[in-house]
Structure 1
Amino acid sequence: MGRKLKIFDAIVEKCPRFERKGKSMIYTSANGYMFGLLNKAGEIGIRFSKDVQEQYIKQFKSSIYKSYGAVMKGYVLIPDSMLEDLDNVAKLLNESYDYVITLEPK
């Protein structure tokens, strides 16, 4: 998972409004909500509203995201092919941040 952790960190570094958290479970969060995850399988997931999630699953030819065997509500699995353009993935992570800060704080 070392390579994927470096990729995840590189994506987060492009997003100055938040930082990466966690030691064994790697994530980003704001407003009491996680919105970016790196699971133990080395897969990156980003959270969106249900409508955006459905749109992006189709657009990215991807699927829902699972972490530790659980389906993560609103998350989209970011395909490895998209990791060749970290600026684009950083835009998606920023979009996700913009979404979670509109939710009722936890």
Structure 2
Amino acid sequence: MSKKEKKTIPAEQLELYEKLVKSIPELEINSTFGFPYTSLNGHMFSLLSKSGFVGIRLPKQEREAFLEQYNSTIYKPEPGPLLKEYVTVPNDLLADVETLKSYLLISLAYVKTLKPKPPKKKK
């Protein structure tokens, strides 16, 4: 792939991610950075990479349980750094909206406990 070619998110993963986020009425998908994500008070808590992998931010105990139960890994978007509080959602689990909805609700509750980030000043 040349540098000028942009990687596009696989349509099936995008559709499943949108369905997951829409399962919680108070959530909206943002795409400020060129990929879909959810955030609250300046804290991102779920995202879909351009490679088509979903990451969900979880508190330590739930994160460790998820990693073990689903034989998952800590999330690393491509390109980008390892996101230590995020788990990688296995693609076969992505279609299970009810199961993932419970994790997304845990994630939302977790970011609600974090101190809001101040808005960035425009230069």
TM bucket normalised to smaller: over 0.9
Structure (1 or 2) with the greater strand fraction = 1
* SS of structure 2 residue aligned to 1:70: coil
Structure number with bigger Rg: 2
The TM-score normalised by the length of structure 1 is: 0.92
| Structure 1 segments unaligned to the other structure (5+ residues) | none
- Aligned residue in 2 for 1:88: 99
Query: Which amino acid in structure 1 is aligned with residue 91 of structure 2?
Result: D
Partners of 2:17 and 2:86 in 1: how far apart? 16
Q: Deviations over 1:20-63 (max 9, x none)?
A: 11062110001210000100110001001123212211111100
- After TM superposition, where is structure 1 displaced by more than 3 Å over at least 4 residues in a row? none
**Are 2:83 and 1:72 equivalent residues in the alignment?**
yes
Query: Which amino acid in structure 1 is aligned with residue 85 of structure 2?
Result: G
- 2:16 touches 2:95 (CA, 8 Å); kept in 1? no
- Give the root-mean-square deviation of aligned CA atoms: 1.3
**Are 2:48 and 1:56 equivalent residues in the alignment?**
no
| Structure 2 segments unaligned to the other structure (5+ residues) | 1-9, 118-123
Structure (1 or 2) with the greater helix fraction = 1
Partners of 1:90 and 1:51 in 2: how far apart? 17
Partners of 2:50 and 2:84 in 1: how far apart? 18
Query: Which amino acid in structure 2 is aligned with residue 69 of structure 1?
Result: G
Task: Provide the identity percentage.
Answer: 38
**Are 2:101 and 1:101 equivalent residues in the alignment?**
no
What number of residue pairs does the alignment pair up? Answer: 106
Q: Which has the higher contact order (CA 8 A, sep 6+)?
A: 1
Query: Which amino acid in structure 2 is aligned with residue 9 of structure 1?
Result: E
- 2:56 touches 2:87 (CA, 8 Å); kept in 1? yes
